[in-house]
Amino acid sequence: MIKKLLFSFSLLIAANAFAQEQATISTNLQDAKTTINRNIYGMFSEHLGNGIYGGFWVDKNAKVPKVGRIRMDVVNALKKIDIPNLRWPGGCFADEYHWMDGIGDPAKRPKMVNTNWGGVTEDNSFGTNEFMELCKLLNTEPYVSGNLGSGTVKEMSNWVEYMNFDGVSPMTKLRKEDGRDKPYDVRFFAIGNESWGCGGNMTPEYYSDLFRQYATFTKSYKGAPLRRIASGANADDYHWTDVCMRDIPLNLMWGLSLHYYTIPTGNWGKKGSATNFTEAEYFNTMKNCLKMEELVTKHAAVMDKYDPQKKVALVVDEWGVWTDPIPGTNPSFLRQQNSMRDALIAATTLNIFNNHADRVRMANLAQTVNVLQSLVLTKGDDMLLTPTYYVFNMYKVHQDAKLLPLKISVPEYKNGDESIPAVNASASVDSLGRVHITLVNLDANNDITVSADLEGENHSSISGQILDSKNLTDVNSFSNKNLVITKKFDGAKMKQHTVTVTLPKHSVVCLEIK
C-alpha cells in the first residue's frame, strides 16, 4: 500500500516564442479521506420526447435485441459505463404522474396527456414494474420521483408500500398480482420536483411544510431504509436552500436537490445551436458551465450553517447543457446533438462534483437517451454513442475511490476582455492504490504541457486515454458514429518521480498511475 504520495504538477503554456505561463497542481495521498460517491455518476430519464418511448422502450415489432420491449443494445452500452442509479419518471412529468395508472394489464391502463412535453398522449405502457425491470437489466439502482404537485399523501405513501413492503397489505397484493412477489427495495425517493416551478410554483416555506407532511407518511420498510430527497433550489436561489435546511428536520431528509443547466447564450428563449457556434459562443458556454463551481460552493456553505457534519447530501439531480433542439424535430421533445464541446462540459462538471465529494453525493445527467445532453441517440433500429458517453466511460474510475484534494493554480483561457481557467482536474486513489487523474483543457487554441513531479513511492507505469477531435463542433452522427471517441493516449511520460504530458487543445485526458 502506498504510504505517501505527493504530486506537484507544473502546467506550462507557451504565451509566445520566448515566454511561458506556469500553473501548478499539488496533492498528498495522506489527504485521501473523502469517498467520491458512485451516485455522482447517475442518470435521468423522463417521460419526455423519445427518452423512454423510442429510447429504452420500443415497439414489440422493432427489429432490435429486446427483453420484452426494453431495448438491449442501449442497455448493454450503458452497462459498460457502470451507471449507479437512474432517476424516473421526471422532471416536470413526475408531478402529473399517477403511479397506479402505470401498473396492471398494459392493455387496460388509462391514457393521459403529457402536458409538460408537447401535449402528446402517454399510454402508461412503461410504468413502475417496467422501470424496475430496466434497472435490473442495467444493474443500476432506481431513483424514483414522487408526485407532490398534483398527488396526495396517500398516493405517495401507497407507492412506497407497493415498491418496498414485504408483508400482507393491499399494496403488496397489487404488486404480486402484477407478477412481482418480492419488494423492489427502492432507497432513493424524491418528494416532489422543482416545487418552485412546474412542480407547484410554491414558496420554500410552503414546500418545506409539505415535505415534512409527505415525508412522515413515506415509510422505511425492512430492507429498504428510505433516502428521501427534497426538491431543492433552481440555480442560485440560495434562499430556497436556506429555508429548506432551516425548516426541514435533518433526520427526514437524506438529500436536497439542485438543478442547473448550462445554457450556451445564457438566454432561455434562444439557447444557441448544439452544432453551429463560434469560438466566442463556445467560450461563453464554458463560462456558464463553470458557474457550477460557484453554485455548489455557495449552496454547500448554506447547508453547512444548519448541518456542519454534512449529513444531508447535495443532490444535483438535473444538470447538463441545454441547446436549441435539432431543426425539424418537435421542439417540445428536446432532442439535441452532442458535440466535443458537450464532452468538455460533462468532464468539467464531473471534476467539480468530484472535488466537492464531501457534500455532493449524488447527481443525475439530463438525460440518458435522445433528450438534452444524452449518452445515446437512437434512430429507428440504429443507435450511436455520443461524446458525453465516452467521458462517463473514462471517469468511471473515480466511482467510490478516495478523493485526492488538489491545490490548483492554472493559466487563463482568454476571449476578448474575459477569461476562464484553461484547465480543470480531479484525482482519486482506488482500493488497489491506483491513482487516476482526469484533466480537461478548455483552451480552444493551445496545447498545454503538464510537468508532474511525484514524490514518495516509486511507480512503475503510467497509461492514459484521451477524448479529443479536430473541431469543437464535431459530433458522432449516424453516418459517422466514431468521429469523437476515446483513444489510447501515449503522450504521458514518466522518469523517476516526474510525469510530463501535453494536453491537446480542447481535450479530456485520464491518466492511470500504478
The answer for residues whose C-beta is within 8 angstroms of residue 279's C-beta and 6 or more apart is 415, 444, 472
- pLDDT value of position 229: 98
| Position 9 pLDDT exceeds 50 | no
pLDDT band at 451 (very low <50, low <70, confident <90, very high): confident
Q: Is 161 a catalytic residue?
A: no
225-228 long-range contacts, CB within 8 A, separation 24+ = 225/187, 226/160, 226/164, 226/186, 226/187, 226/189, 226/254, 227/187, 227/188, 227/189, 227/254, 227/255, 228/189, 228/190, 228/191, 228/252, 228/253, 228/254, 228/255
List the domain boundaries for the chain: 5-35+404-513, 38-400
Backbone angles phi, psi at 280, to 5 degrees: -60, -40
DSSP code, position 266: S
Question: What are the pLDDT digits (tens) for 306-363?
Answer: 999 999 999 999 999 999 999 999 999 999 999 999 999 999 999 999 999 999 999 9
Cell readout for 263 is 445554457
Cα–Cα distances (Å) from 503 to 233, 431, 446, 486, 489, in that order, read 36, 27, 9, 14, 10
Strand order in the sheet with 402-403: 402-403, 423-429, 435-441, 507-513, 462-467, 486-488
Q: Band the pLDDT of 59: cuts 50, 70, 90.
A: very high
Pick the catalytic residue from 46, 96, 194, 293.
194
Burial of residue 197 (number of CB atoms within 10 Å: 0-12, 13-18, 19+): middle
The fold of 5-35+404-513 is Immunoglobulin-like (2.60.40)
Is 90 exceeded by the pLDDT of residue 403?
A: yes
Cα(227)–Cα(225) distance, integer angstroms: 6
Express as a percent the part of the chain with pLDDT over 90. Answer: 87
318 catalytic? Reply is yes
pLDDT for 15 = 37
**Could you say which of 318, 412, 418, 455 is catalytic?**
318
The amino acid sitting at 191 is I
Structure confidence at residue 14 as a pLDDT band (50, 70, 90)? very low
Count the alpha carbons within 13 Å of 167 in the hemisphere toward its beta carbon. Answer: 5
- Among candidates 228, 146, 239, 226, which has minimal Cα distance to 186? 226
Residue 145 has a pLDDT of 98
- pLDDT value, residue 457: 59
| Cell 418552485 belongs to residue | 196
Average pLDDT over residues 167-178: 97
Position 13 scores a pLDDT of 40
Query: How far does CA 403 lie from the centroid of its chain?
Result: 18
Q: Which pLDDT does position 450 carry in this prediction?
A: 78
Hey, what's the torsion of the CAs at 163, 169, 172, 174, to 10 degrees?
-120
Note the pLDDT of residue 507.
97
pLDDT at 407: 82
Predicted confidence at residue 189, as pLDDT, reads 98
Which helix (H) or strand (E) is 20 found in, with range?
Answer: strand 20-28
486: β partners? 467
Tell me what the mean pLDDT of segment 74-93 comes to. 98
Give the model confidence (pLDDT) of 144-167 as tens digits.
999 999 999 999 999 999 999 999
d(CA 247, CA 200): 19
Q: Has residue 498 got a pLDDT over 80? A: no
What's the rounded Cα separation, in Å, for the pair 423 and 412?
Answer: 8
Segments of 400-506 assigned E as strands: 402-403, 407-409, 412-415, 418-421, 423-429, 435-441, 448-456, 462-467, 486-488, 492-495, 498-503
pLDDT tens-digit series, residues 99-137: 999 999 999 999 999 999 999 999 999 999 999 999 999
Centre a 10 Å sphere on the Cβ of residue 101 and count the other Cβ atoms it contains.
Answer: 15
pLDDT, residue 456, reads 54
Q: Looking at residue 130, what DSSP letter applies? A: H
Q: Is the pLDDT assigned to residue 19 strictly greater than 80?
A: no
Nearest CA to 90 out of 202, 171, 195, 201 is that of 195
CA distance 295 to 356: 11
**Maximum distance among all alpha carbons in the chain?**
79
> CATH homologous superfamily for 38-400?
Glycosidases (3.20.20.80)
Task: List, for residues 282-298, the tens digit of each pLDDT value.
Answer: 999 999 999 999 999 99
Which pLDDT does position 408 carry in this prediction? 82
For residue 455, what pLDDT is reported? 61
**pLDDT band at residue 453 under the 50/70/90 scheme:** low
Angle between helical axes of 72-79 and 128-138 (0-180°, round to 10): 50
pLDDT at 458: 65
Quote the strand ranges of 218-281, DSSP E. 227-234, 255-262
Whose CA is closest to 78, among 155, 135, 6?
135
Quote the CA–CA distance of 450 and 446 in Å, as a whole number: 13
Q: Return the closest-CA partner of residue 296 out of 274, 313, 280, 271.
A: 313
Mean pLDDT of 270-278: 97
User: Is residue 420 a contact partner of residue 413, using CB atoms and an 8 Å limit?
Assistant: yes
- The mean predicted confidence, pLDDT, of the chain is 93
Q: Which three cell numbers stand for residue 169?
A: 397489505
